[in-house]
Amino acid sequence: MLQGKPLYPPESLAAIAERTARSVQRLPQTVRILEEPRGLEVKISEALAALHQEVLTRQQAIATRI
């Protein structure tokens, strides 16, 4: 979006369905089963943790200036 207007044409429903199906297929079978699925373990990467800390530090610096 730029000034309230989309930059690209909308994706077709068929393209969205195909992308979603591919995404679901990448999940482990134990998560995709309908009856008693297992949870998916999520890990935070070191890079994401560092970015999170950087954002918190910046927010704290801004808050102390106000």
Per-residue pLDDT at 66 exceeds 80: no
- Long-range interactions of 4-9: CB distance < 8 A, separation 24+: none
CA distance 54 to 51: 5
Contact indicator for 28, 40 with CB cutoff of 8 Å: yes
Quickly count: other Cβ atoms within 10 Å of residue 48's Cβ.
Answer: 10
**Rounded CA separation 12/18 (Å):** 10
- pLDDT one-digit tens code per residue, 12-50: 999 999 999 999 999 999 999 989 888 888 999 999 999
